[in-house]
Amino acid sequence: MKKIIISAVALTAIMGSVSTISADGINILDDMKISGELRPRYETVKVQDSKKDDANAFTARIRLAVQANLFGVENLKTKVGITTVNNFGVDHYAPASSDYEKVVDPSQAMLSWLIMI
């Protein structure tokens, strides 16, 4: 399975390339605002009387959002957000390794919202 990780730099580059002025002077995206949140977590799972080893996981949930005005029209805005959960090297947990208990916070990336206001 292929992992998709989108960084703040990549998101800024993508959105910056879309924010162009056409020949007739209309802005596609204007007044862009970027926000983000980083939530690192260390989790441990101990199950009594289990034959599997205790699980340990160091993960971080990252949320990035971009809000911008559309086409220079007053009060026409869009907001796009993404959420990713990444593992930072401590993978002593299932499903990454079947010898350990399960930590229910899998690595993932998703479009969390797309809003037109």
Consecutive 10-residue runs of the chain (117 residues): their mean pLDDT? 46 49 65 92 88 88 91 85 87 78 82 85
User: How many domains, in total, are found in the chain?
Assistant: 1
Q: What is the pLDDT of residue 23?
A: 53
Residue 44 lies in a domain: yes
Asked if the structure places residue 13 within a domain, the reply is yes
The answer to whether residue 83 is domain-embedded is yes
- Please report whether residue 2 resides in a domain: no
Q: Is the pTM above the cut of 0.75?
A: no
User: What's the confidence (pLDDT) of residue 98?
Assistant: 81
User: Domain limits at 108?
Assistant: 8-116
User: Which pLDDT does position 6 carry in this prediction?
Assistant: 47
CA distance 20 to 29: 7
Residue 3 domain flag = no
Written in H, E and C, the secondary structure of the chain is CCCCCCCHHHHHHHHHHHCCECCCCCECEEEEEEEEEEEEEEEEECCCCCCCECEEEEEEEEEEEEEEEECCCCCCEEEEEEEEEEEEEEEECECCCCCECECCCCCEEEEEEEEEC
Q: What is the pLDDT of residue 62?
A: 94
- Residue 16 included in any domain: yes
Domain assignment present for 1: no
Quote the pLDDT of residue 3.
43
pLDDT, residue 25, reads 64
